[in-house]
């Protein structure tokens, strides 16, 4: 083996340092074990680099914008440089705007309220609720779940060809599914949208932590993602893209920072002149630490190199898939087929088990944290399970409505901070639970499947 190949292999086997890697948790069967965090798709742990950067800045924290003091000036400069760093990370166009929000959900709701009048929105039923639900004031066309990437493009093209060609239109699509982890054909969907005079927004919540996202290369009009999924869990998100619809819309929140000038009128009212910059939709005191942490994470991932990160994650995905394939009772869920490329997110069901019971046993008996439920993607999970779309269920709750006790699945998700050992423990635990059953008794308490107190 050459030195260069060995170096690459070593990089693939080395996870990025994250907080919590040394945390131990108690087991119901006695003793403690190192916690295996395999719920990255919900919230990824903070990169050590992000935590260190935030800790170094914290003593210098100050008010942002318009402050005369040194710390205010320093914080303002840091906040605006964070905006530049994230825009560079996303390869934004020169005239794009980048707005700091609270999350992907917040970003898409902001864009939804900025849509032009009579805008028609096209969204696949497979989307996360953050992408599926914000468009209540628009004319929404929900598209059926495709079974191949090519079918996704064809479905969108047919829907756009039948739309009113003279009104504004927006397509909303995920980059990677939060349920199956499968990559969507974003570039091809963007080309279809633009060919029919529509714009497109990319939900990159599950894509940006795992793959490079280039606004230019993908040719999307906007992109949204969350810091807490990008190893920066400090309550901030991003909406970046074309400025015209954003500048023409009323501010997302009315208040200080969004207004350039406010004056009283003779009739007793007020006249307001709003900013045209990103500040228009950033009213109130901004989350400086949240924005800075996202920028820090962007730098860390860029410096680590996405080629290496993608190769390492593919290695982990292969470990999980190979291990689960050896357990006949396990069925991995997929829209596009077993060979579809995906990020480090897989969902599955186990014959003879309620998914909530299985997830609870993984946690209580093995110290492995996964997620169970419908993952705020109810229509998609029902499609994957073959359940009628009108069925009811509560997001994330293991106890569904009567007759739907098994309408939930298990999701394992991982990323740049996951060591091989956590994946190996997970696969071994799945095999042992299926073979020998749980060693403890469980019951439902406050809507959760939990270990019974013996």
Instruction: Compute the distance between CA of residue 334 and CA of residue 147 in angstroms, rounded to an integer.
Output: 9
Q: What does the pLDDT average to over 189-211?
A: 98
- Contact assessment for residue 253 and residue 106, using Cβ atoms and an 8 Å cutoff: no
Res 240 pLDDT > 50: yes
Confidence of residue 164 (pLDDT cuts 50, 70, 90): confident
Q: What is the DSSP letter of 452?
A: P
Reduced DSSP (H G I as helix, E B as strand, rest coil) percent helix, strand, coil of the chain, to 5: 40, 20, 45
**DSSP H/E element including 372:** strand 371-373
Position 11 scores a pLDDT of 56
Res 388 pLDDT > 70: no
Cβ density class 209-241: b for 16+ within 10 Å, e for less: bbbbbebeebebbbbbbbbbbbbbbbbbbbbbb
In sequence order, the β-bridge partners of residue 199 are: 170
Res 391 pLDDT > 50: no
Cβ-based neighbour number of residue 417 at 10 Å = 21
Res 2 pLDDT > 50: no
Confidence of residue 298 (pLDDT cuts 50, 70, 90): very high
Position 256 scores a pLDDT of 86
Cβ density class 262-290: b for 16+ within 10 Å, e for less: eeeeeeeeeeeebbeebbbbbbeebbbbb
Position 453 scores a pLDDT of 87
Chain-centroid distance, C-alpha 356: 22
- Provide the token pair at 121: 């929105």
119, 376, 395, 449: the catalytic one is 376
Instruction: Compute the distance between CA of residue 426 and CA of residue 422 in angstroms, rounded to an integer.
Output: 6
- Contact assessment for residue 161 and residue 197, using Cβ atoms and an 8 Å cutoff: no
Res 7 pLDDT > 50: no
Position 13 scores a pLDDT of 65
- Provide the token pair at 35: 């916690």
Q: Is 92 a catalytic residue?
A: no
Position 10 scores a pLDDT of 57
């Amino acid at each position: 083996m050459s030195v260069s190949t060995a170096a690459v292999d070593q990089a693939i086997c080395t996870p990025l340092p994250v907080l919590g890697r040394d945390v131990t948790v108690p087991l119901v069967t006695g003793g403690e074990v190192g916690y295996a965090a395999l719920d990255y798709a919900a919230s990824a742990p903070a990169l050590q680099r992000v935590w260190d950067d935030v800790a170094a800045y914290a003593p210098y924290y100050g008010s942002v914008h318009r402050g005369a003091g040194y710390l205010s000036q320093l914080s303002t400069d840091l906040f605006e440089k964070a905006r530049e760093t994230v825009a560079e990370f996303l390869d934004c166009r020169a005239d794009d705007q980048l707005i700091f929000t609270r999350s992907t959900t917040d970003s898409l709701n902001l864009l939804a309220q900025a849509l032009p009048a009579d805008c028609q929105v096209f969204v696949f039923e497979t989307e996360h609720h953050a992408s599926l639900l914000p468009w209540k004031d628009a004319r929404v066309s929900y598209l059926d779940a495709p079974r191949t990437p090519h079918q996704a493009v064809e479905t969108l093209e047919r829907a756009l060809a039948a739309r009113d060609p003279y009104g504004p239109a927006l397509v909303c699509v995920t980059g990677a599914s939060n349920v199956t982890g499968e990559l969507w054909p974003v570039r091809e969907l963007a080309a279809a949208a633009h060919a029919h005079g529509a714009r497109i927004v990319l939900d990159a919540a599950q894509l940006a932590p795992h793959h490079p996202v280039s606004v230019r290369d993908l040719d999307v009009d906007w992109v949204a993602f969350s810091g807490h999924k990008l190893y920066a869990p400090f309550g901030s998100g991003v909406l970046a893209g074309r400025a015209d619809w954003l500048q023409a819309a009323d501010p997302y929140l009315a208040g200080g920072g969004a207004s350039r000038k406010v004056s009283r009128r003779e009739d007793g009212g007020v006249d307001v002149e709003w900013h045209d910059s990103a500040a228009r939709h950033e009213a109130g005191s901004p989350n400086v630490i949240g924005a800075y942490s996202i920028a820090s994470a962007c730098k860390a991932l860029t410096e680590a190199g996405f080629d290496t990160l993608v190769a390492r994650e593919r290695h982990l995905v292969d470990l999980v898939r190979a291990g689960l394939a050896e357990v006949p009772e396990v069925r991995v869920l997929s829209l596009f087929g077993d060979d579809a490329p995906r990020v480090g997110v897989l969902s599955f069901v186990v014959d003879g088990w309620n998914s909530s019971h299985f997830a609870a046993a993984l946690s209580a008996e093995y110290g492995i944290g996964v997620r169970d439920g419908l993952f705020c993607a109810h229509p998609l999970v029902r499609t994957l399970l073959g359940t009628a779309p009108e069925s009811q269920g509560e997001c994330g709750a293991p106890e569904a409505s009567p007759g739907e006790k098994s309408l939930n699945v298990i999701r394992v998700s991982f990323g740049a901070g996951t060591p091989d050992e956590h994946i190996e423990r997970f696969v071994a635990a799945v095999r042992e639970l299926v073979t020998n059953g749980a060693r403890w008794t469980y019951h439902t308490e406050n809507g959760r499947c939990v270990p019974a107190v013996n």
